[in-house]
Amino acid sequence: MENWELNFNWLKLQHFVKDKFEMEVLPNIDTILFMIGIQKLGRLQEEYTKEDKLSITTLGMCEVLSLEGYFEDNGIDDEGWTVWIEKKPFEPKSDAEGQEMLKRLSITYFEKKIM
């Protein structure tokens, strides 16, 4: 995917999420990953602790990275959380490269599962 395509599709995804959830501002990558994590977790609460938010965002990140074989879903633990097996390390050369990959995979996730 060329850079302009990624930017266009990312903006399209941001607007989809903003409109769907009646948000005032466009969501960033962490918000999108948090929403994917909530979807994977399968339960919604009124409030979350900072630790819960980080865990849910990490869950979303593992979910999208599993699309390219970085992680594999290994079932659910006693508390209802997905257990992930790392299949290969996610080692982007820079933060920008990591963000780009997470955006691209988030777009793919939404195209396959939501949109």
Give residue-wise pLDDT tens across range 85-111.
Answer: 999 999 999 999 999 999 999 999 999
Domain boundaries, the chain: 3-113
Three-state secondary structure readout of the chain:
CCHHHHHHHHHHHHHHHHHHCCCCCCCCHHHHHHHHHHHHHCCCCCCCCHHHHHHHHHHHHHHHHHHHCCEEEEEECCCCCEEEEECCCCCCCCHHHHHHHHHHHHHHHHHHHCC
Mean pLDDT, residues 69-78 = 96
- Triad 97, 98, 102: Cα angle to 5°: 120
User: What pLDDT does 44 receive?
Assistant: 87
User: What pLDDT does 46 receive?
Assistant: 87
pTM, entire model? 0.93
Give residue-wise pLDDT tens across range 26-54.
Answer: 999 999 999 999 999 998 888 999 999 99
Measured distance CA(45)–CA(50) in Å, rounded: 13
